[in-house]
Amino acid sequence: MDKRYEPLFTPWKIGNVEIKNRIVMLPMEGTNMIQWEAKTGFVKGIDSLYRDRKDNNIGLFIPGLIPLVSIVKEKWIYDHPEVFEPVKPIVEEIHKSGAKIFFQLSAGAGRSMILPQLLKPFVKKGLLKDLSSKLVMSKWWWSAPDDDEPNVWDPDVKMDLFTSEMISRFVYAFGQTAKLCKQAGIDGVEVHAVHEGYLLDQFAMSYTNHRDDCYGGSLQNRLRFACEVVKEIKKVCGEDYPVSLRYSVCSMTRGFNEGAVPGEVFEEVGRSMKESEKAIKILEEAGYDMFNCDNGTYDAWYWAHPPVYAPLNINLSYVEHIKQFTSKPVVCAGRMQPKEAADSIAEGKIDAMGIGRQLLCDPEYVTKIKEERMEDIRPCIACHGACLPFNGANGKGTDIDPLHVEMGRCVLNPWTNNEARYSLKPSRHPKKIAVIGGGIGGMETAIQASLRGHEVDLYEKSDRLGGAFNAAAAMSFKEKDKDLLRWYQNTLYKTDTRVHLNSEIDDIDRLDADVVVVAIGAISRTLPIKGAEKAMTAIDFLNGSQECKENAIIIGGGLTGCEIAYELALKGKKPVIVEATENIIGARGICMANSSMLKELIRFHKIPVYTSSTVEEINEDTVTLKTPEGSKVLPADIVILSVGYLPDKRFADKDDKKKKNKKIYFVGDCDQVGSLKTVIKQAYETVQKISY
């Protein structure tokens, strides 16, 4: 083992429970062992996810949260101990691997509850009369510390009052449910949470708690609910039963639905570091044995779920600071990297590294570190394309599509949480496969086909692999995208695939193959603008065909256009975004953590944004805009078109009837323009079909 990582593999204790190493698999949506409102309570197929990881050197598992009370109707999990029975076999397997497991128990979401937005499409279709809590939702999930509190996802929706009687019932439920966990062999529990702006956190912060009873006012009062919870668990389960708290060190929140960005000087409306130093002492004295830490609230959601725009180890300095104010162990999460985590652990600044999405992306992540196989690690690129379910199209999350919710999966690794659906067995009928296109879709197809025992040739017309993803990875803040390109290339060359660079295919008939997979991507859209020949596409710009001197006009305020504007701002340039619709970054499928952080960065860097506007004319050094306020002329030494893509259909007429014993598949954007998620999933499933 590389000595730099040795601190990660030393034992430590939470209370009297010893953990074999400093790696904690964090709770994530879709990693729940129990979704207890289901018939059995055990999530079908989840045991496969944990079996893939239990022998891969993880010290502590904390699966996704367990609601204490049902969302629909009023059922309490402590009245249904039978739901713990199916969990016991996989818990025993985890224990045999030497790892420990804590269950995370949830007090609810309060004003962060997303269900109203998930239900809206059903209301529109007439399947539900309205969004009234009395009709569709338990009062426990519709209530917040203050009545009339605005919902995060839709401020027009107001919350009910979480009464003192409800608090007492919840405190009791925590104790009884923790007792069931202990009886099921679970090593400890984690309370969810004085964290991320969930219900207990709303009680803890003055900007969401204006109560005048014993649960409001002073910091001690605002933390009373959380303190009563741990005291109850200890009373029921014993003082030696470990209880962790999911804890946001700082809220990083400027106001309702307004988050701060790294490096910003702002007035904290939530929990400041000064208050956090006092809060963690109060919580420790109440009985918590560990603090599982990061930052943020749902108003600044991206601190707890940092996207690609967030620095690596984004929360580390904050957690290292708060560690000085508690004698209990702390875990740090948030794009954590092993070298920085190991250094911090060795210096006694944190106690363990929390990992979430990286373990969805690569189950063998920790083993590869231990075995010095860093180049084999499939890197998480913080895209949130399949691991987080909360996608919205209008920037406030109020247009969420419940039919396209993803939970606990991975864009880069379709196997995750689909273990029972897919096969990795060698094909019973190996074939000769030609893959046209060396982008992500083509490489994924070739890798999977080769691993299944097929004979594969990959043809790429240029002199390098990666396709359009080379442009996507070019921006300075996309270091993990660059790592992903290297991983794909290294992995591809470790297979038996024959790679042919500088090999453009124009006639499928000449290919010596049983199956042809076309993965040639898309072509950039253009617009009928006067002077459009002076503009360049986003891909050409990112590939370095022209530098920006100072003033750049980006036509198109989608994800790519806004990322380009942010990149130019980081370089000291003066970008301007022009978007024809009312909102920037408005496409479906973009996680709210990503879109909201990018919008806040655009605000912070003071990048002008013209929505509901179009470019009328591009001149040598200016552009003319048509805005709601009238015509406007802006300086421009470069104009970048980022208005989407069209499928490259050059082989679209090559169907089975026209080919000589060849089966043809189309993968990725040449079939239908989508995302990295759709490209990789389609490649994966195409090989599943071929290998059947």
**Cα angle value 44/45/47 (rounded, 5°):** 110
Q: How many residues does the chain have?
A: 692
User: 465: closest CA among 508, 424, 495?
Assistant: 495
Contacts of 96 (CB under 8 A, 6+ apart): none
Could you tell me the residue range of the domain that residue 481 belongs to?
432-523+646-690
Structural domain ending residue among the three candidates 361, 388, 404: 404
Determine which of 39-53, 77-91, 347-361 has the lowest per-residue pLDDT on average: 39-53
How much of the chain exceeds pLDDT 70, in percent?
92
Is residue 572 one of the residues assigned to a domain?
Answer: yes
This prediction has a pTM of: 0.94
**Average pLDDT of span 551-562:** 97
Other Cβ atoms within 10 Å of 148 Cβ, number = 9
**Average pLDDT of span 465-470:** 97
- Whether residues 508 and 550 share a domain: the answer is no
The residue that leads in pLDDT, 145 or 397, is 145
Q: How many helices (H) and strands (E) does the chain have?
A: 20, 30
| Band (51; pLDDT cuts 50, 70, 90) | very high
- Amino acid, res. 366: V
Is residue 423 one of the residues assigned to a domain?
Answer: no
- CATH number of the domain at 667, please: 3.40.50.720
User: 532: closest CA among 553, 550, 551?
Assistant: 553
Active-site residues: which are they? 198
In the chain, the number of structural domains is 3
pLDDT at 135 over 70: no
The residue that leads in pLDDT, 75 or 271, is 271
- Whether residues 472 and 617 share a domain: the answer is no
- CATH number of the domain at 196, please: 3.20.20.70
- Whether residues 287 and 265 share a domain: the answer is yes
Determine which of 225-234, 450-459, 557-566, 582-591 has the lowest per-residue pLDDT on average: 582-591
Determine which of 145-159, 300-314, 469-483, 598-612 has the lowest per-residue pLDDT on average: 145-159
Compute the distance between CA of residue 6 and CA of residue 57 in angstroms, rounded to an integer: 13
Identify the DSSP state of 391.
B
- Whether residues 160 and 279 share a domain: the answer is yes
Tell me, what's the pLDDT at 29? 85
pLDDT at 420 over 50: yes
Compute the distance between CA of residue 200 and CA of residue 239 in angstroms, rounded to an integer: 22
Is residue 410 one of the residues assigned to a domain?
Answer: no
- Whether residues 508 and 553 share a domain: the answer is no
Is residue 425 one of the residues assigned to a domain?
Answer: no
Tell me, what's the pLDDT at 71? 78
pLDDT at 372 over 60: yes
- Whether residues 472 and 500 share a domain: the answer is yes
| Band (428; pLDDT cuts 50, 70, 90) | very high
pLDDT in tens, 649-687: 999 875 544 455 679 999 999 999 999 999 999 999 999
- Whether residues 448 and 329 share a domain: the answer is no
Tell me, what's the pLDDT at 154? 79
- Whether residues 678 and 555 share a domain: the answer is no
Is residue 414 one of the residues assigned to a domain?
Answer: no
Identify the DSSP state of 297.
B
What 347-351 contacts at long range (C-beta under 8 Å, 24+ apart), as own/partner pairs, is 349/320, 349/323, 350/316, 350/319, 350/320, 350/323, 351/12, 351/22, 351/323
Contacts of 554 (CB under 8 A, 6+ apart): 561, 562, 564, 565, 575, 576, 577, 578, 640, 642
Is residue 413 one of the residues assigned to a domain?
Answer: no
- Amino acid, res. 618: I
- Whether residues 12 and 152 share a domain: the answer is yes
- Whether residues 383 and 299 share a domain: the answer is yes
The residue that leads in pLDDT, 156 or 493, is 493
- The DSSP secondary structure of 521-567, one letter per residue, reads -EEE-----BTGGG-EEHHHHHTTSS---SEEEEE--SHHHHHHHHH
- CATH number of the domain at 617, please: 3.50.50.60
Structural domain ending residue among the three candidates 354, 385, 404: 404
Is residue 412 one of the residues assigned to a domain?
Answer: no
- Whether residues 179 and 209 share a domain: the answer is yes
Inter-residue contact 450 to 456 (CB < 8 Å): yes
Tell me, what's the pLDDT at 134? 41
Record the tokens describing residue 232, joined without a space: 């109850």
Tell me, what's the pLDDT at 407? 73
pLDDT at 100 over 50: yes
Give the chain's mean pLDDT. Answer: 92
- Whether residues 163 and 218 share a domain: the answer is yes
Tell me, what's the pLDDT at 658? 47
**Average pLDDT of span 485-512:** 96
Is residue 379 one of the residues assigned to a domain?
Answer: yes
